[in-house]
Amino acid sequence: MTDSIVNRLTKHLRLFYKENPYVELLHIWVDKVEEGSVTLEMKIDRKHTNFYEMSHGGALMSLADTAMGAACLSHNKKVVTLSFNMNFIKGVPLGEKLIATGHVVHNGSRTMMCECELKNEDGKLFCKASGSFFVIGKLLAENN
């Protein structure tokens, strides 16, 4: 994939997620886009936590699902989630900045499979996820 296509996809992914109310609510932002791989970031603040001031599993699952969906978008494919699995390895405390790296494992015409890791800036692993996705269309028209 050429740099100009990656730059276009990065721009469109950022706009795509900027206009997504749920992603905006969680303050997830697109950091880096490569073909088949996307890095997102989310700092754990009060809205992401449970009564123990640890991140809520649903917020972590939302971040991982978004990272895997964005990895599919890096192949210019819009998707919806078919199945999702998450392994919680360590609790994520309030104030921790998470880096979610989603990458495509299978790039099919109708279905895709992805994996994701949630780590902090020091590389400490908190969660691993995998999912399968159904392709519903393209992000960019082929002639753009």
Tens of pLDDT along 48-81? 999 988 999 999 999 999 999 999 999 989 999 9
What's the CA gap between 126 and 56, in Å, rounded? 13
Rounded to the nearest integer, the mean pLDDT of the chain is: 91
Buried b (16+ CB within 10 A) or exposed e, 114-136: bbbbbbbeeeeebbbbbbbbbbe
Is 30 contained in some domain? yes
Pair 129, 61: CB distance under 8 Å:
yes
Q: Look at the chain and report how many structural domains it folds into.
A: 1
pTM of the model: 0.91
> Does 137 have pLDDT greater than 90?
yes
For residue 76, being part of any structural domain is answered with yes
**Rounded-to-integer distance, Cα 111 and Cα 108, Å:** 5
Instruction: State residue 8 phi and psi, 5-degree precision.
Output: -65, -45
- The CATH number for 70's domain is 3.10.129.10
Instruction: Identify whether 53 is part of a domain.
Output: yes
Model confidence at 144: pLDDT above 70: no
Residues 13 and 52: beta-carbon distance below 8 Å? no
Task: Please list, in sequence order, all residues whose beta carbon lies within 8 angstroms of the beta carbon of residue 125, skipping any fewer than 6 positions away.
Answer: 89, 90, 117, 118, 119
Pairwise CA distance, residues 110 & 79, whole Å = 9
Give the domain range for residue 44. 3-137
Give 112 or 139, the one with higher predicted confidence. 112
57 occurs within a structural domain: yes
- Please answer whether residues 16 and 38 qualify as being in contact, where contact means their C-beta atoms are separated by less than 8 angstroms: no
Query: Does residue 123 sit within a domain?
Result: yes
Does a structural domain hold residue 82? yes
Cβ atoms within 10 Å of 78's Cβ, excluding its own: 15
Instruction: Give a yes or no: residue 144 inside a domain.
Output: no
